[in-house]
Amino acid sequence: MRTLQVKLGDRSYPIYLGEGLLARAGEFLKEAGCGERVGVVTNPTVAGLYLKPFQEALSRAGFRVTSILVADGEEHKSLKSLAAVYDQLIRARFDRGSCIVALGGGVIGDLAGFAAATFLRGVPYVQVPTTLLAQVDSSVGGKTGINHREGKNLIGAFYQPRVVVIDLAALRTLPRREFLAGLAEVVKYGIIEDPALFALLEEKLERVIALEPDLLEEAVGASCAIKARVVEKDEREEDYRSVLNFGHTIGHALESLTAYEKFLHGEAIAIGMTQAASISVRQGLCDEESRRRIGLLLRKAGLPTEIPSLIRVEDLVKKMEVDKKSAGGKVKFVLCEGIGKTQFCWLSAEEIAARLSA
């Protein structure tokens, strides 16, 4: 087991990472000072796989567990689901000392975290991510929230968990396509901050995809460590935290233009990163060899790297302009300077279009 720390003063918390940690959740919750009452928010798919043993593990440690199920899928990260979670917390007479546990992927983590942030003006919560994407990204850093029909994550709060428990064994039941999409975010950490992680993936990708425990721990641990450092520098995304959006400006626009149906998040980000690397080369920031390595690694992982021909560059650029990170007609782009270093760059619609079409 590996232990990392997210250092945020009185909001600091540990990340535990290893195989079989679901069974040890009770001990981590106790250590985090959680009260006796625990509400486990999860979805039917994850519940079918893990809820029973997870509940038993908590009960053995003396916790009284209420399970709260939310339907599966991004469309249920909604105000309606949130209201249903509140209703169940109130019906079960949860109080300020009660604790919420998010057992699942990013949808569950974001929704349960936001419920915790706002129930009785804030109760403790714990992230137990079961997808690779949630393990390396959404479970760490305290971004919680729900979608609005006009856009994703428009409603939410920065609210840190008390502890993050990452059981790498849960990845064995994750569909391969979802695992590979999650891997796109791991590649991202390599590009923005960690040449050694990038090289590890280049060298041992097959073994990571085969879920070799040591390599998984190394890849997920390195990702979480980078995420933690970035969040420590800029918890509320006032500036530097947006480095995590490398590949996301184009990626979000692609997801939105394809109605969130064609691509998993990580797949859209894989295309976005490849294109961001190309723009970086054309801006004179990135060498051609690094760009080539990025595209190659993503393709080796079975991820898409090209903008589908049916999508028009002008539509893509228009979407970026309404993104919540745009301002004054320019879009804040994260570009890379080779592998392991980034630079922020404000680009106009015309500049992006020209560099994407070149």
Does the active-site annotation cover 217? no
Task: Name which of 161 and 221 has its Cβ closer to its own copies.
Answer: 161
| Contact code string over 300-339 relative to its own copies, x by CB under 8 A | ------------------------x--x------------
Query: Which one among 48, 73, 90, 344 touches its own copies, defined by CB under 8 A?
Result: 90
Q: Are 109 and 100 in contact (CB under 8 A)?
A: no
Q: Are 129 and 166 in contact (CB under 8 A)?
A: yes
Q: Which residue out of 185, 218, 235, 267 is catalytically annotated?
A: 185
Contact region for its own copies (CB under 8 A) — 79-87, 214-222, 240-248, 260-268? Answer: 79-87
Q: How many residues make up the chain in this entry?
A: 358
Indicate whether 233 belongs to the interface with its own copies (CB under 8 A): no
Task: Name which of 89 and 132 has its Cβ closer to its own copies.
Answer: 89
- Among 75, 137, 113, 128, which Cα is nearest to 266's? 137
CB of 267 to its own copies, least distance (A): 25
Indicate whether 148 belongs to the interface with its own copies (CB under 8 A): yes
Q: Are strands 151-158 and 143-148 parallel, antiparallel or unpaired?
A: antiparallel
Does the active-site annotation cover 248? yes
Taking the CA of residue 250 as centre, how many other CA atoms within 13 Å lie in the half-sphere pointing to its CB? Answer: 31
Residue 165 to residue 129: CA distance in whole angstroms: 7
Indicate whether 83 belongs to the interface with its own copies (CB under 8 A): yes
Q: Are strands 163-167 and 99-104 parallel, antiparallel or unpaired?
A: unpaired
Does the active-site annotation cover 227? yes
Q: Which residue out of 76, 77, 162, 265 is catalytically annotated?
A: 265
Q: In this structure, what are the phi and psi dihedrals at residue 85, rounded to the nearest 5 degrees?
A: -65, -45
In sequence order, what DSSP letters do the residues of 227-293 get, joined into one string? HHHHHHH-TT-SSGGGGGGTTHHHHHHHHHHTTTTS--HHHHHHHHHHHHHHHHHHTTSS-HHHHHH
Contact region for its own copies (CB under 8 A) — 100-108, 115-123, 191-199, 242-250? Answer: 115-123
| Packing angle, helices 248-257 and 265-282, rounded to 10 | 130
CB of 236 to its own copies, least distance (A): 7
Taking the CA of residue 293 as centre, how many other CA atoms within 13 Å lie in the half-sphere pointing to its CB? Answer: 20
Indicate whether 120 belongs to the interface with its own copies (CB under 8 A): yes
Q: Which of residues 258-277 bind its own copies (CB under 8 A)?
A: none
| Contact code string over 95-114 relative to its own copies, x by CB under 8 A | xxx----------------x
Q: Are 185 and 192 in contact (CB under 8 A)?
A: no
Q: Which residue out of 37, 252, 319, 355 is catalytically annotated?
A: 252
Query: Which one among 118, 258, 343, 348 touches its own copies, defined by CB under 8 A?
Result: 118
Total residues at the site for its own copies (CB under 8 A)?
A: 31
Residue 323 to residue 327: CA distance in whole angstroms: 9
Annotated catalytic sites, by residue? 121, 143, 185, 227, 237, 241, 245, 248, 252, 265
- Chain contacts with its own copies (rule: CB under 8 A): 79, 83, 86-87, 90, 95-97, 114, 117-122, 143-145, 148, 150-151, 153-158, 236-237, 324, 327
